[in-house]
Chain A
C-alpha cells in the first residue's frame, strides 16, 4: 500500500493560481491533517487567509483544515473558532479525538457564555455554537444517555432541553431524582435553581405516581406552602400508606427547620371538622374509588364509609398539624435524648475540682459545659448537686447559669414555662429576683422554644415591654429572637427596634442580633434600616450586634445579597466589615460558591483589622460546610499564618465544616494548633477539635483518646492560660454534648441546610465577644436518632440491624469506676429483659419466703426507680433490648441489633438496614431521623416501645416533687453590683 510520506506537495499546490487546484489540495489536506498537521502548520496562515477570503468558495473547508491543525497544536480556542466557521462540515457525530475534544470545548464555551449572559445584557450567542450544542444534546437523547443530557442542559441553563430530556427518558422518576440532586449540588445560581426546581415539580405532577417526598422538598426550596398543603391534604385523604407518606413528608420538612414555612403550610391546611365541606368533596372521591374496587357497594355502605372516613381524616389532620408545628417531633426527640442520656458526670466533677473557684471565666465555662453536655436531656443533676458552688455565679455569670437551664431543658415545650417560672420576672417587674437571673430566664425560654416559639412568643414580648432594665431587655431580646426565629413578625420587630433605639449598649447588642434572628433569610429592606442605625450609634457592641443581624437577614440569599455585602465589606468601620464576612458566610452557606470563597480569602489576607481577617477565615467554614473534605485543604495554608487571628479562624472553620466527621485531614490540621503558642488559638483549636470528634469512637479514630487526655491535662494544669482552659472545658461540653446523643450538623439528611443550626453556629462564634452566646451552639445539635413510627405516630417495637462492628459506633466508655458512674442512675438500664428477669428472680425468691402478691408489687416498685412503665404498661411485655446490653453480650460481633428508637450516628447510616422478614417497612430509604413505618401485618397486635417521658417529675426533680417547688437558687441573693460591670473581655 502506498502512503504519502509528506504533504508538502499539497501545500505547494495551495500557492497555485487556479481555484480548482486549491480546492483539490484543501480537500486532500483535510483527510491528511491527522498525520501531517505539523507540515500544514507551517502554512497555516495561507489556509487562514483562504477562510477569510469571502469570495473563496471553499472557505468552510479551509476553516475545517485550520481547525484541525490548531487542535493538534493545542490552540483549542482558535480551533473552536474555525470549527464554528466550518459550519456543517464540522461533524459532531464523528468519532475522533479531535471532534470529541472540540465538542467538549464547545460545551464549555457555551456554558460560560450562558452563565455570563445576564451580566452583559443578553449578548447574542453565536448561533453556530448553539447549533452544535443542540446537536450534541439531541445526540445524547438519541443514544439514551439522558443523564448526560440532563447534566449538559443544567450546566448550560437550558430548561427547554432539560424538560425534553426528562420527558423522553424511560425512567422519568429516576431522572427527576437525578436532576433534583444535581440542582441542589451543582447549580450555583439561586435563581436558575429555582427555575429547575419549579420544572421538576411540574414534571412530577404530570406523573402517574409522583414522588411526593421530593416534590415537597422542592416546594420548600421554592417557598410554596400552598402547594405543599394541597399535597398533604390530598395524601391524608387517601389510604393508610398515603397518610404515612404525608407524615413522612411533614417530618422531613420539619428537619429542615424552616419555622416560617412550616407554619405557613400548617395554616394553609384546611380546618378538619367532621362533615365539613372540604371533607364532603373528598368523600365523593373516595367513594368513587371504593366503587371502583367493589362495584357492588351499596349506597348505605358508602355513607358508612363516609362517616368513618371523616373521623379518620380529622384524626390524621390533627396528627399532621402536630408534626408540622413541631410538637410531635420535638417531643419524640426529647424522649429519646432523655432516655438515652449517657453523659458522664464524673468529667464535670473533675473539671469542677480542678478549676480554681476564684476564676470566674472557668467557673462559667464549667456551667456552659454542663449545659451543653446535657442539652435537651432535662437532666440537671449536676446543678442540683452543686448548689453552693453554683451560687458563686454572680451578675452576668448568673445570667448565663440561668440561661443554661434553657439549654438543658431544650424542647421541653409543655413544662418549659413552669420550669423557668421561679426565675422569671414577676408581675410588676419589681420582684425579688435579680435582673440577671430574670434576663437569663427569658433567654432560657427562648432556647427551650428555639424555632418553635408559637406558644411563648407573646409572653416574651410582654416581658420585653414591661421592663426597662437593660439586662432583662437583653435576655428578652435574645429569647424573642430565638423563639420567633425566621418568622419575620412585624410586631415583634417594632418592639425590638424600640429597644434598639434606646441606645443602650447591652440591650442594643441583643436587639441587633434578635432583629437578625427574626428576619433570618428574609432579605427584607429592614437590613438597610439596621445598617443606617449601625452608622449612627457610638456603641461598638450595638454595631456588632447589628452587623451580625444584617448578616442573618441575608441568610441563604446568595447573589441577591451581593449589593449589601459589597456595601458592608467596603465600610470604613471594621466591625461592619466583620459583619460583611458573616453576611458572605451566611448568604453562601453550604454552596461552596467560588466567588464567595475568593472574596473571603482576599479579605483573610488583606484586611487591616484582625477581627475581619479572623471572621473571613471562619466564614470559609460556613461556605464549605456542604463539602467538609474541601475545608482542610483550603485553610491549611492559613492555619500556618503568622497572624494568630487567622490561625484561630482556620481552626474554627475546620471545626464548623467538618463537625462530626472525625476526618483525619481535619484532625491533622487542628492537632498542631491545639498546642499553639497563643492562648486563644489553643482555645479555638480545642473547641474545633471537639466539634470534629463528636461521637467519634476510639475504634474508629484513635485520636479521640489522645484528645481526651489532652483536655484532662489542660484542665488540671495550674499554669495553663485561662483562655485555653476555658477552651478545654467547653470542648468537653461539645464533645459529649446532649448526653452523647447529638452531633453538630449544619445540613439535614436531605442535603438542605438546617437554618437553625447554621444560624446557631454563626451566633455561637460571637462568644469571642460575649460568653452567654455560647449557648447558641446548642441550636446546631442534631439528635443522632433513628425513630420509627407507625401510622399512630407511636413507636412500635422492632429491631434494625447495623452491619458494622459495635465498637465503631459505641458510646465512649465512662471515665470512672462504676461506683461513681452516674449511668446507673439512668432509667435506660432498667428497661430491659435483665430488669424483668431480675424482678422475676426476685419475685421467685420472694415467693418462696413470703406471701405472693404484696412483695411482688413492692419489688417492682423498688426495681423501677423512676417508677413508670412497670405500673403503666403492666401486662405489656417489655423486652426492650437496649443496644448497650447487646454490645456487652457480643463484643466481637460484626453487626449489632438496634431497637427502635436507636442511636444511629450519621456515619453509621450506611450500615443500617431493616432485617429480612421485618414486620415494618420504611416509607423512605434513609434509616435515620424520623421514619414512618408501614405495618406489613396490620392484623397482629402492635407492641409499642414504652416511653420515658421526662415530664415532671424529672428524675432529679422527682425527689423534690414538682420542679417549680425546688428551683435552683441562682447565686442566692444578688447584692446590687457595684459598677463597673464585670464584662467578659476577650483580648
Chain B
C-alpha cells in the first residue's frame, strides 16, 4: 500500500512539473517529463486494461487521465498529429470505461471535440461518424462538440464560406486544427476552380478563396499551386484534358482461355 501510495505521490509531483512546462510552452522539458510519467504509469495496476481494485486505484486513474490529457495538449502544442492520435487512443478508455470509478474530467469534452476535429482535418469521415455515434446526447449539446459537428455539416454541404468564417473556439488548442481546416477548404475550392474555370480575375479569386489581401492570395498560389499562371491580373488554371482511351478488349486471350476450358472439360471423363 505504502509503496503504491508513494509511487502515486511521486508521479503526482512529476505531473505538476509537466503541467507547468506545458503551460510555459516549454515543450522539450514537457516531453521528457511525459516520457518518465508514462513509464511510471505501467507500474500502476489499477489502470486499463487490468483495472485491479487497489487502494490507490482512484488516484491512479485520475492521475493517469490527467497525464494523458496533458499529453494530448502537448501534441497539439507541438503540432504533432501522430502523437495526438497515440495519446488520445490511450486516453479514451478513461472516458468510456471508468465512469463508475472516477468523476468525469473537465477536459473530457474538449478532448473529444479535439479528436473529432482532428478526424475531420485528416478527412477520416467514417471514423468521425463512428466516434460521433458513440457520444451521449449531453455531449452533443456541449459547445466543444457542437462546433465540430457544425463544421462537418458545413463542409459536407460545401458551405465553405461558413467554414472559413467561424473563428470562435472553445479552447485555444482548437486553433491549430481550425487553421488546418481552413487550408483544407481552400484546397477544395482550388480543386473545384481548376475544373470549373479556365481563368479567374485576381479579384474574383480573392473572393472565392476568402482572402482579404492580394498578398495572401499570391503567397497561397506560389506555395500550393505553382502551376497556375498569373497574367493580366488573371489566374490561368492548367487543365488536365487527356482522356485515357478505352482499353482494348483482350479478345485473343479470352478465346484461348475458352478453348482451354473446353479441352479440359473434354478430358474430364
Contact = CB atoms under 8 A, between A and B. Distances in A.
B51 A3 contact: yes
Contact of B90 (A5, A12, A18): A12
B169 interface: no
Interface of B: 35, 38-39, 42, 48-51, 82, 85-87, 89-93, 96-98, 100-101, 267-269
A642 B86 contact: no
Interface string A17-51: 11011001000100010000000000000000000
A730 interface: no
B48 A4 contact: yes
Contacts of A16: 38, 86
Chain B interface SS verdict (over half): helix
B96 A12 contact: no
Interface stretch (A338-346, A357-365, A633-641, A813-821): A633-641
A6 B269 contact: no
B129 to A, nearest CB: 17
Contact of A640 (B51, B86, B101, B269): B269
A12 B86 contact: yes
Contact of A9 (B35, B90, B267, B269): B90
A606 B267 contact: yes
B93 A21 contact: no
Contacts of A875: none
Contacts of A605: 267-269
Contact of B39 (A3, A18, A642): A18
Contact of A20 (B39, B50, B89, B98): B39
Nearest to A14: B86
Contacts of A18: 35, 38-39
Contact of A6 (B39, B82, B93): B93
22 contacts: A2-B51, A2-B98, A2-B101, A3-B49, A3-B51, A4-B49, A4-B51, A4-B97, A6-B93, A8-B92, A9-B92, A13-B90, A15-B82, A16-B38, A16-B86, A20-B42, A21-B42, A605-B268, A605-B269, A641-B269, A642-B269, A646-B269
Contact of B89 (A9, A606, A637, A646): A9
A637 B96 CA distance: 62
A24 B42 contact: yes
Pick the most buried of B98, B100, B269: most chain A CB atoms within 10 A of its CB: B269
A585 interface: no
B87 A2 contact: no
A219 interface: no
Interface residues of A, number: 30
Nearest to B50: A28
Given A12-B87, A646-B269, 20 more contacts: A1-B51, A2-B98, A2-B100, A3-B49, A3-B51, A5-B93, A5-B97, A6-B93, A8-B92, A9-B90, A12-B85, A12-B89, A20-B42, A21-B38, A21-B39, A32-B49, A605-B267, A605-B269, A637-B269, A642-B269
A131 B97 CA distance: 42
A243 interface: no
A605 B269 CA distance: 6
A7 interface: yes
B48 A9 contact: yes
A369 to B, nearest CB: 33
B96 A5 contact: yes
Contacts of A638: 269
A20 B267 CA distance: 63
A3 B101 CA distance: 12
Contacts of A15: 82, 86
State the 3 A-B residue pairs at the shortest beta-carbon distance, nearest first: A4-B49, A12-B89, A2-B51
A169 to B, nearest CB: 45
Nearest to A10: B49
A4 B93 contact: yes
Nearest to A638: B269
A615 interface: no
B97 A2 contact: yes
A11 interface: yes
Given A17-B35, A18-B39, A7 B49 contact: yes
Contacts of B38: 16, 18, 21
B44 to A, nearest CB: 11
Contacts of B85: 12
Interface in A287-313: none
Nearest to B39: A20
Nearest to A606: B267
A486 B153 CA distance: 93
Contacts of A2: 51, 97-98, 100-101
B58 to A, nearest CB: 12
A6 B49 CA distance: 9
A300 to B, nearest CB: 83
A24 B43 CA distance: 9
Nearest to A11: B89
Contacts of B86: 12-13, 15-16
A906 B97 CA distance: 71
Given A3-B51, A641-B269, A9 B42 contact: no
A5 B98 CA distance: 11
Nearest to A641: B269
Contacts of A7: 49
Contacts of B42: 20-21, 24
Nearest to B83: A15
Contacts of A11: 89
Nearest to A643: B269
Nearest to B38: A21
A15 B82 CA distance: 10
A119 B151 CA distance: 68
Contacts of A641: 269
A694 to B, nearest CB: 29
B119 to A, nearest CB: 14
Contact of B93 (A9, A637, A642): A9
Interface in A559-595: none
Pick the most buried of B49, B50, B267: most chain A CB atoms within 10 A of its CB: B49
Pick the most buried of B38, B50, B82, B268: most chain A CB atoms within 10 A of its CB: B38
A32 to B, nearest CB: 6
A7 B89 CA distance: 9
A640 B85 CA distance: 66
Contacts of A8: 89, 92
Contacts of A1: 51
Contacts of A646: 269
A147 B82 CA distance: 57
Nearest to B98: A2
A7 to B, nearest CB: 7
A637 B91 CA distance: 64
Nearest to A15: B86
A1 B50 CA distance: 11
A605 B265 CA distance: 11
Nearest to B42: A24
A4 B87 CA distance: 17
Nearest to A20: B39
A44 to B, nearest CB: 17
